[in-house]
């Protein structure tokens, strides 16, 4: 039987290259990427995936040109709440992942508002990873545990202090645009993830690509360090 991964993480890469190929500014690629993102989420809902993590902005992406960073922050503040009917019609509960305390006020408020407005949806949970870095996530969790007086750090303690401890580790991590690296995504929760890399640039993605990635996931044998006959 075809097994649907419970949690898929998407490294949405290639927006800039997509725009460059069309002689458009990189920002146009990000806008096109947003449209692809909706198609991919819909595909995940149709497949019955329970959790999706979308890598939207890394702790390293602040080093990009200011106009590009400003544009992305603008997308978070202006577009997220505008999609409320889409989330509610599809049963999407939004969560944020990453340190959003340092985001511009408008973006942070829009994200918190969207999380609040969708908290009753139960079909799928979508984590928006913004100002997210896997190293930062682990350090924040360890510091939170130390601040509580915990002196023995274990994998369980670290997980329990994550932003959303109830979200399980990623079964499948998918990256678009040909690059074969994690770029600081889900370092802890990718311990036993399967990886799928496709050359297609993110703005060209849709539900069919989700289905293809799940097919490829089904061709893998997960062993978690054990032995499978």
Sites of contact with Mg ion (CB under 5 A): 13
Residue 12 interacting partner from Mg ion, ligand IPE, none (CB closer than 5 to 8 Å by kind): ligand IPE
User: 7, 164 in Cβ contact below 8 A?
Assistant: no
Shortest reach from residue 26's CB to ligand IPE, in Å: 6
Binding mask 53-82 for ligand IPE (x = CB under 6 A): --xxxx--x----------x----------
Asked whether the CA dihedral 67, 69, 70, 75 is positive or negative, the reply is: positive
What DSSP state is assigned to residue 137?
Answer: H
List the catalytic residue out of 61, 131, 171, 209.
61
Nearer to Mg ion, 14 or 98 (CB): 14
Which residue's Cβ lies closest to Mg ion? Answer: 13
DSSP track, 202-226: GGG--HHHHHHHHHHHHTS---TTS
User: 12, 38 in Cβ contact below 8 A?
Assistant: no
Shortest reach from residue 47's CB to Mg ion, in Å: 26
Rounded-to-integer distance, Cα 50 and Cα 210, Å = 14
Rounded-to-integer distance, Cα 72 and Cα 131, Å = 11
- The reply to whether 13 belongs to the active site is yes
Q: Does 189 bind ligand IPE (CB under 6 A)?
A: no
Nearer to Mg ion, 11 or 100 (CB): 11
- The reply to whether 184 belongs to the active site is no
Rounded-to-integer distance, Cα 9 and Cα 174, Å = 6
Q: Does 137 bind ligand IPE (CB under 6 A)?
A: no
- Interacting residue ranges for ligand IPE, rule: CB under 6 A: 11-17, 55-58, 61, 72, 177, 179, 181, 183
């Amino acid at each position: 039987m075809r097994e649907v991964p419970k949690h898929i993480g998407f490294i949405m890469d290639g927006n800039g290259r997509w725009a460059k190929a069309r002689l458009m500014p990189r920002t146009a690629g990000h806008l096109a990427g947003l449209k692809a993102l909706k198609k991919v989420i819909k595909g995940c809902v149709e497949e019955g995936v329970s959790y999706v993590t979308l890598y939207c902005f890394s702790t390293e992406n602040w080093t990009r040109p200011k106009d590009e960073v400003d544009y992305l922050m603008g997308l978070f503040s202006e577009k997220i709440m505008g999609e409320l009917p889409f989330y509610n019609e599809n049963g999407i509960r939004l969560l944020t992942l990453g340190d959003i305390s340092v985001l511009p006020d408008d973006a942070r408020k829009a994200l918190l508002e969207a999380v609040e407005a969708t908290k009753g949806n139960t079909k799928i949970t979508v984590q928006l990873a913004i100002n997210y870095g896997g190293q930062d996530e682990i350090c924040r969790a360890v510091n939170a545990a130390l601040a509580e007086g915990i002196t023995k750090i274990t994998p369980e303690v670290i997980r329990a202090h994550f932003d959303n401890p109830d979200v399980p580790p990623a079964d499948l991590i998918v990256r678009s645009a040909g690059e074969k690296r994690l770029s600081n995504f889900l370092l802890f929760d990718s311990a036993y993830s399967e990886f799928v890399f496709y050359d297609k640039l993110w703005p060209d993605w849709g539900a069919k690509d989700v289905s293809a990635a799940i097919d490829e996931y089904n061709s893998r044998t997960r062993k978690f360090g054990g032995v499978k006959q």
